[in-house]
Amino acid sequence: MSIKKEFLYNLLIILAIIILDLLGDYIIFDKDIFSSSFTLFLFKTTFTISLLTVYIINYIYSVPKFLFKKKYLQYFLAFIGMILLFAGLRFFLEEIILYNITGRHNYFFDVPLSQLISNYAWDSFYYTLRVCLVSAVVCLFFRYNENKEEIHQLQIEQEKAKLSVLKSQISPHFLFNTLNNLYEELYEDKPKTAGDILKLSKLLRYVTYETNEDFTSISKEITFIEDYLYFFKRRYEDNFHVQLHIDGFVHNQKIPSLILIHFIENVCKHGIINDKNRPATITLVISDHILELKTKNYINTSDTYTGQGIGTKNIKQRLEVIYKDSFILEHQKTENQFEAYLKLEL
């Protein structure tokens, strides 16, 4: 759903809340703000402003930031903060600004201070709870429909990918059988070449078969990256200057398939990798819950650099579907250097 439509629906819901509130005043308390005194209208306006402030904060920040991520303690603290905000804003508008205009208080100030504070506190709790419940349900509804659309789109893409694999199954089988035959023929006479063929076969097999799942182990992705870089090193021999650093402990952590290779491919295809004075660097830092990838390279000016091209856009869209906002993807391009940074929660 577009932002424009979501805004329009929220506006209609807010108007419905205001109308129901006015109707409740009219039925229960026999108060009609349009035919009663102008002072009542002003007090109702300040009350509505306070209520809408809490609605917007809860909808835009508290629910997506805490409730949807199951951070219930943080949401509870945010809820307490919204109660205080509602009470403070309402007190400022009603008892300071409107009092100076109308000379009237909304509450009886001749009661003990403790009772006055209690009245404000209970009122603020009730109205904040009510508006937070409504805004949370509305936000949940929109995010649910948004997720349904994204899941449906992913299912369509997955079916397309499966169809593509089925169409091309004969060719990979033939290719792998041919590579295996070449490996066996060369194993005795040219073991180095035979080893390269085996490595190439493993690399192609991984891309063709083992990435059908959405997630794969980090250890397999690292092996794939090392094999990918190996063939560039074979091409450039001693003139290959890409430094790969892997820090951390790798065990059963999972990441989306073929996410990392996009950044490695950008370095090797569009960066300078054959100048020892300007080496490219790839740093992968892994912990139990965080993965960080940093790449830095000098830009090959003879090539059209596509660091921000279609591939990067597709990677970002895929990460947004999987991780929502629990990832960081940044690019920085200077006159002759390009840097990329990716951070994922595992």
The structure's pTM equals 0.52
Average pLDDT, the chain: 79
- Give pLDDT tens digits for 166-186: 545 545 666 666 777 777 777
Q: With cut-offs at 50, 70 and 90, classify the pLDDT of residue 310.
A: very low
Q: How many CA atoms lie within 13 A of 52 on its CB side?
A: 15
Instruction: Write the secondary structure of the chain as one string of H (helix), E (strand) and C (coil).
Output: CCHHHHHHHHHHHHHHHHHHHHHHHHHHCCCCCCCCCHHHHHHHHHHHHHHHHHHHHHHHHHHHHHHCCCCHHHHHHHHHHHHHHHHHHHHHHHHHHHHHHHCCCCCCCCCCHHHHHHHHHHHHHHHHHHHHHHHHHHHHHHHHHHHHHHHHHHHHHHHHHHHHHHHCCHHHHHHHHHHHHHHHHHCCCCHHHHHHHHHHHHHHHHHHCCCCCCEEEHHHHHHHHHHHHHHHHHHHHHHCCEEEEEEECCCCCEEECCCHHHHHHHHHHHECCCCCCCCEEEEEEECCCEEEEEEEEEECCCCCCCCCCHHHHHHHHHHHHHHCCCEEEEEEECCCEEEEEEEEEC
Tens of pLDDT along 219-228?
999 999 998 9
Nearest to 106 by CA among 87, 132, 80: 87
pLDDT digits (tens, 9 = 90+) for 124-167: 888 888 888 888 888 888 777 777 766 666 666 666 666 555 54
Separation of alpha carbons 51 and 14, rounded Å: 10
Burial of 247 by CB count in 10 Å (0-12 exposed, 13-18 middle, 19+ buried)? Answer: exposed
Q: Are 11 and 55 in contact (CB under 8 A)?
A: no
Dihedral of alpha carbons 51, 52, 57, 58, sign: positive
Band (pLDDT 50/70/90 cuts) for residue 67 is confident
Band of the pLDDT at 91, cuts 50, 70, 90? confident
Sheet harboring 290-298: ordered strands across? 242-248, 280-286, 290-298, 337-345, 327-333
